[in-house]
Chain A
């Protein structure tokens, strides 16, 4: 795992986000084993208590489960990828919508641009903002 931390955001949240991203993109599949807390802590050079907090939180969220003596695994629950994807998408869209609303733009006009940009970026014609 490679996390480029921004230390201005709680680190355990960034660890959780990274796992979510890996689950959504399929890097991690349901049932896959994830690193032990100590290994991950050593790998990303983060306090083990912080990693422990991230894992505990992920267990509460139902993303992973720890089997005694075997390690921690991504939950077998098949809805998990879908759910996580929806959640991440909702979060992204929420941020986007609030920003767009702040500019006073309409839904239709915005969606039009979203669609165009989507295909342009996919085609590799990324336009620099500046």
Chain B
């Protein structure tokens, strides 16, 4: 495993009118790993990811993506899948794919067809006609069709059917290239997705309450990450 850091976050702070979303979060992600960003709703997971992609301007601290501060250049290196439905509903799946492909040089056209097949999506379908699970699968296709060095998935399993979730988990395992990619998956329900993670970070009210290698944590606590999660956030 390379010692290059794909993402370094130092003392990141963000205040919202109602509450603090991040109270000084620090992380360092080695290249090639899949990290689980775990915490209940409102713990700051989403805000953290949004800061990395520039959807939210932090109040303090700094972020470097492959050694560079966030900029237009780093945006080209990051594939972000938000929790919200960010696709244009009037487009067909094919149109959404063509639209996205225009902006990214690392787009791989062959991979799209493979993924469409695997995710069982009909490209002629309109996005407004898709179920939540289908839309989640499509959003994942758009992220995995790129050779993006950093992939950020915000709650990719939230509120979708188990079949879609299984497809997404398998899609990630199949397509993730640990030689050149790094991934963060945020989730508030660890469930049966914990075997995806190399390492996990528990985020609690804007601070990191526990982090470490997933296998080490299992050995150390003799418990699954899911059980640990339930215990920490009980």
Question: B-contacting residues of A (Cβ < 8 Å)?
Answer: 5-12, 38, 41-42, 44-50, 52-53
Residues of B within 8 A of A47 (CB): 34, 173, 195-198
Q: How far is the CB of B100 from chain A (nearest CB, A)?
A: 25
The one of A7, A46, A53 that contacts B226, using a Cβ cutoff of 8 Å: A7
> In terms of DSSP, what is the predominant structure of the interface of chain B?
helix
Residues in B whose Cβ lies below 8 Å from that of A50: 195, 198, 215
A37 to chain B: closest CB distance in Å? 10
Q: Is the CB of B218 within 8 A of A10?
A: yes
* Closest residue on chain A to residue B223 by CB atoms: A8
B223 & A45 in contact (Cβ 8 Å cutoff)? no
Question: Which residue of the partner chain, among A6, A11, A44, A52, contacts B215 with CB atoms under 8 Å?
Answer: A11
**Contact of A8 with B222 at beta-carbon distance under 8 Å, contacts A49-B32, A49-B34, A50-B198 already known:** yes
- Do A42 and B174 touch (CB < 8 A)? yes
Query: Cβ of B74 < 8 Å from any Cβ of A?
Result: no
Partner pick for B225 among A7, A41, A44, CB 8 A cutoff: A7
Tell me, in angstroms, the Cα distance from A55 to B196 when the chains sit together. Answer: 17
B178 at the interface (CB under 8 A from A): yes
Taking a contact as CB atoms under 8 Å apart, the answer to whether B225 and A49 are in contact is: no
Query: Which chain B positions have C-beta within 8 A of A52?
Result: 178
Size of the chain B interface, CB-CB below 8 angstroms: 26
Question: Which partner residue on chain A sits nearest B228 by CB separation?
Answer: A8
Q: Tell me the complex Cα distance, A44–B166, Å.
A: 11
How far is B33's CA from A68's CA once the two chains are assembled, in angstroms?
24
**Is A46 touching B32 in the complex (CB atoms < 8 A)?**
no
Quick check: is B18 within 8 A (CB to CB) of the other chain? no
* Cross-chain contact A49 with B223 (CB below 8 angstroms): no
CB nearest to A51 among chain B residues: B173
Q: Which of B215, B222, B227 contacts A12 (CB 8 A)?
A: B215
Residues of A within 8 A of B166 (CB): 45
Can you show 17 pairs from A to B with CB atoms below 8 A apart?
A5-B195, A7-B225, A8-B222, A8-B223, A9-B219, A9-B222, A10-B216, A11-B215, A12-B215, A41-B173, A44-B195, A45-B166, A47-B173, A47-B197, A48-B178, A49-B32, A50-B215
A8 to chain B, nearest CB (A): 5
Give bound CA distance, A7 to B176, whole Å.
Answer: 21
Contact in complex: B224, A49 (CB < 8 Å): no
- The distance in angstroms between the C-alpha atoms of A5 and B193, with both chains bound, is 12
Beta-carbon contacts under 8 Å, B36-70 to A: none
Q: Is the CB of B170 closer than 8 A to any CB of chain A?
A: yes
Q: Which of B1, B32, B173, B194 has the most CB of A within 10 A?
A: B173
* Chain A nearest Cβ from B2, distance in angstroms: 12
Cβ-closest chain A residue relative to B176: A48
Residues from chain A with Cβ under 8 Å of B196 in the complex: 45-47
A49 & B198 in contact (Cβ 8 Å cutoff):
yes
- Partner of B218 from the list A7, A38, A46, A49 (CB cut-off 8 Å) is A7
Residue of A nearest to B217 (CB): A10
Report chain B residues within 8 Å CB of A6.
224
Determine the chain B residues whose CB is within 8 A of the CB of A7 once the complex forms: 194-195, 218, 224-226
A42-B218 contact, Cβ under 8 Å, with A11-B195, A49-B33: no
Given A7-B195, A47-B198, A50-B195 in contact, is the A42-B173 Cβ separation under 8 Å?
Answer: yes
CB closest residue in chain A, given B219: A10
Assembled-state Cα–Cα distance A5/B196 (Å):
13
Task: Identify B195's interface contact among A8, A45, A53, CB under 8 A.
Answer: A45
